[in-house]
Structure 1
Amino acid sequence: MTSSVRLGADRHFPARPIPDTAVSSLHELTTADGAKVTGVLRTIPGARTVVCLMHPRQDFTHHVLVPELLARGMAVWTQGTRSVNNDLNLLHEQAVLDMAAGQVFLRNSPFDHVVTLGHSGGGTLAALYHQQSGLPPGRRISRTPAGRPVDLAGADLPVPDAAVFMAPHLGQGVLLERLIDPSVTHETDPLSVDPELDPYSAANGFADAPQSSTYTPEFVAHYRAAQRARIERIDAHARELAAEATAARQRFKRSADVADRRRALAPRIITVYRTDADLRGTDQTLDANERPYGSLFGSRPDLINYGLLGFGRLSTPEAWLSTWSAVSTHADFLRCAPGIGAPTLLVELTGDQAAFPPDSAAMMKSFGSGDATHRSVRGLHFGGPLSPGEPAGSSLAADVIGAWTAERFPLAD
């Protein structure tokens, strides 16, 4: 091994161009709680069905599926949340309000059918939206896990006509629970290691890349229990910090003391080191599929784990509890999916490094829709080809999505 090995994942690959007949328009929307969000509508002549692509954290404006869906006769709406590309304070409950603004806009547009398409973390946001939009207003979420009021009951949440998922994982929090390194012994020291839990120690079954590691069932069970315990410890810290800020706000309301106002405003940032340590990234026999060695972030998780990249590295206490905590978040795919009553399509990518075969099986069992379809295509998590020279997974998925949607809704005049 040499230090010159490229660490990053191959997320970018040649995509189909936007059709010449497509017309694009930019729209600024106001959410029910007064936030501003933007979306891009791309349509083609005669399109009657519009597909909504949205992610809680990322900008999907140029998502690889956009030209693929346009080429198959569908209009495409890509929208950001108020926290796009800056998830320091990402609250999924607010992201539902952001998505609702887009759904209201699309219902007032000249389309007959609105279909949500959740890719990766966008899948759980879409599932949460479907769940909440299908509930009577009085049963909707009224507070974030940290206790902040959120008025989903008073918002217009149009119910989409169908739900499509491509390579959805089980939620940011559930994903992080499998990625977080439980061998960290001191949360303020990124190099602290408990050797009995170190996933990158040969004594625990690790083999140098790209050879697959071999972890024993006993180590896997011990490791996963320790991952859960670390999440619970960070949860407890987050709740303590959130409670301090809440108490300061309440004191300020009573006293108008500027010192309390400062305490309420002072940022409390949680730093979480080493979050690229999923055992499945290095032991390819665990939840086996056709994935290559490595993680979503690259081919050397044993190094990337110690770097800057990774999920949930910096967040406010509220954002941790709302988005990154498998214990506290409302955005849990398997808890939300029973609330999806619309026709549902799940497209699994056989080389996925974030959503694994057991996850897809659990999702299919959890859907509340009586019309739920599962299809598998060869490809990587971000839609790239599984092997050089093969079609992109995104293109194969678009074939499935286009055919499935056309069976249910006329795509064009």
Structure 2
Amino acid sequence: MTATRLGADRYSTTIDAPAGVATSVHELQTSDGAKVTGVLRVPRGATTVVTIMHPRQEVTHHPLVPYLLTMGYGVWTQGTRSPNNDLNLLHEQAIIDFAAGLVFLRDQGFDVYSLGHSGGGTLAAFYCQQASMPPHSRLTTTPAGRPVVLADTAMPLPDGCIFLAPHPGQGALLQRLIDPSVTDESDPLSVDPDLDPFNPANGFRPAPESSSYDDEFITRYRAAQEERVRRLDATARAYVSDAQQANRAFKSGGDATDRRRALAPRVLTVFRTDADLRNVDLSLDPNNRPYGSLFGRRPDLTNYGLVGFARLSTAEAWLSTWSALSTNATFLDCAPGVTVPTLLLEFTGDQASYPIDIAAMRAALGASDLSVRSVPGTHFGGPITKGAPTGTSLAAATIESWLRDHC
């Protein structure tokens, strides 16, 4: 029963870490005064460290860690200032956190390679884009207008980047997943039947039979997804504007009422964000993926559940992370700024990044030393079929070969 519950066994480790690895925990202070924590594991004699970081997930026990240690590489796993928390995740702050880890590892004398899995790939691409710019050309604010100190942040580039099953970015991914049939943002059960992806009249078939949506519905559906994001953007910007006006009023007049209004949380609740048509219609952007989404085998059910991307978000976090229309952290936009040697590694059964995405990423990446590979596996490194090798083990072999050629 436990193994079938939502989120159980998402990552599975198939080997043990080798003996003789020195493990230490480090608290780092970022350039803007925040604190972040990382775990450094170093086999005897290792001079190269692979970093694993994700903007919103705890990666200390990522399944590739023991593989990399067995290869003889050190591993640095680090969180942002808001791990496992979508509520206030600002990508502009997350890359400042990323920088603190790179500075620490450089100060220790290591060669450093970045490994970004899933959303960690876009985080790394965003970091490289900003790090490769002259400091005065870097972003100065978040999409909501909050100042960020990228110009005053030491941002060393890694020696190379590994992008494992990178999706197009949190916002771009959410726009694929968001259910446009929601008619009332305060009612999780509100639905426009003409846009309902799970309405048989629109082409849905009960699981596990693959659905079949026609081109007209797909075009209308995706346009409506963008429109829902646009409406949520408008709400978020109105929240931000009200808070900023209240803060200005407090600074000029000193009225505590204005300060309370500025401080009051303005949180977006975003229902139904597990509705990518490709998860139930396997003919769309085909690969070897199984039926179902990142959150379960029944998107027609999990779409209505608590677990999902961007379920609760401040207005600032929505604009920085979850809005495809406002975020600065979209893989294709950031990819030209990735000029260090790069491995782009695809899982052939990915449920979040498709062959069409990998082709676009390949074309956009700025690295002249670019290797593109694929191995069988699902998005989190599971096997394509029962009893087959895990995607994690196959990815590890490819990564080892690439690192040996570049270290």
Partner of 2:330: 332
Shift of 1:77: 0.3
Name the residue aligned to 1:351.
349
- Paired amino acid for 2:200: A
Determine if the alignment matches structure 1 residue 105 to structure 2 residue 99.
Answer: no
Relative to the length of structure 1, the TM-score reads 0.96
Amino acid at match of 1:133: A
Shift of residue 8, structure 1, vs aligned partner: 2.7
CA offsets 1:376-401 (integer angstroms, 9 cap, x no match) = 00111111111122211111111111
How far did residue 126 of structure 1 move?
0.3
Deviation for aligned residue 1:110: 3.0
Q: 1:219 aligns with which of 217, 220, 227?
A: 217
Within 2, Cα distance between the matches of 1:120 and 1:76? Answer: 18
Q: What letter is aligned with 1:20?
A: A
Gaps of 5+ in 1: none
The residue that corresponds to 2:157 in the other structure is 159
- Tell me the equivalent position of 1:384: 382
Equivalences for residues 1-400 of structure 1 within 5 A: 8=6, 11-111=10-110, 113-400=111-398
Could you tell me how far apart the structure 2 residues matched to 1:12 and 1:94 are? Answer: 27
Once the 2 structures are TM-superposed, how far is the Cα of residue 216 of structure 1 from its aligned partner?
0.3
Question: Which secondary structure state, in structure 2, belongs to the residue aligned with residue 40 of structure 1?
Answer: strand
Aligned residue type for 1:55: H
User: Are 1:8 and 1:299, in contact at CA under 8 Å, matched by a contact in 2?
Assistant: no
Q: Aligned equivalents of 2:331 and 2:354: distance in 1?
A: 14
Structure-1 separation of matches of 2:10 and 2:278 = 19
SS in 2 for 1:351: coil
- Deviation string 1:81-113 (CA, Å, 9 cap, x unpaired) is 0010112000000001100000000101132x2
**Residues of 1 paired with 2:211 and 2:186: CA distance?**
29
> Partners in 2 of 1:278 and 1:333 — Cα distance?
19
SS of the residue aligned with 2:335? helix
Report the equivalent of 1:405.
Answer: 403
Cα separation, 1, equivalents of 2:25 and 2:143: 33
The one-letter code sitting in structure 1 at the alignment partner of 2:104 is: F
Count of residue pairs the alignment pairs up: 405
SS at match of 1:101: helix
Following superposition, the deviation at residue 6 of structure 1 comes to 5.3
What's the % identity of the aligned pairs?
A: 61
- Give SS of 1:89's match: coil
Q: CA RMSD in A?
A: 1.3
Deviations 1:225-281 (A, max 9, x none): 000000000001100000101111111111111011100100001000000000001
Q: Distance in 1 between matches of 2:399 and 2:99?
A: 23
Counterpart Cα distance in 1 of 2:38 and 2:397: 25
SS where residue 123 of structure 1 aligns?
A: helix
Q: CA deviation at 1:320?
A: 0.1
Quote the Cα distance in structure 2 between the aligned partners of 1:34 and 1:384.
38
1:353 and 1:381 in contact (8 A); partners too:
yes
CA distance in 1, matches of 2:317, 2:14: 33
Deviation, structure 1 residue 165: 0.6
Letter in 2 for 1:220: I
Answer whether contact 1:346 1:373 (CA < 8 A) is retained: yes
Letter in 1 for 2:218: V
Give the Cα–Cα distance (whole angstroms) in 2 for the partners of residues 408 and 98 of structure 1.
26
**Could you tell me which amino acid in structure 2 is paired with residue 288 of structure 1?**
P
C-alpha spacing 1:7/1:277, structure 2 compared with 1 (3 Å): farther
Question: For the Cα contact (< 8 Å) 1:7–1:300, is it kept in 2?
Answer: no
Kindly provide the CA deviation profile for residues 198-236 of structure 1, in whole angstroms up to 9, marking residues without a partner as x.
000100000000000000011111000000000000001
Q: Out of 252-261 and 225-234, give the one that drifted further.
A: 252-261
CA contact 2:11–2:381 (8 Å) conserved in 1: no
Normalising by structure 2, what TM-score? 0.98
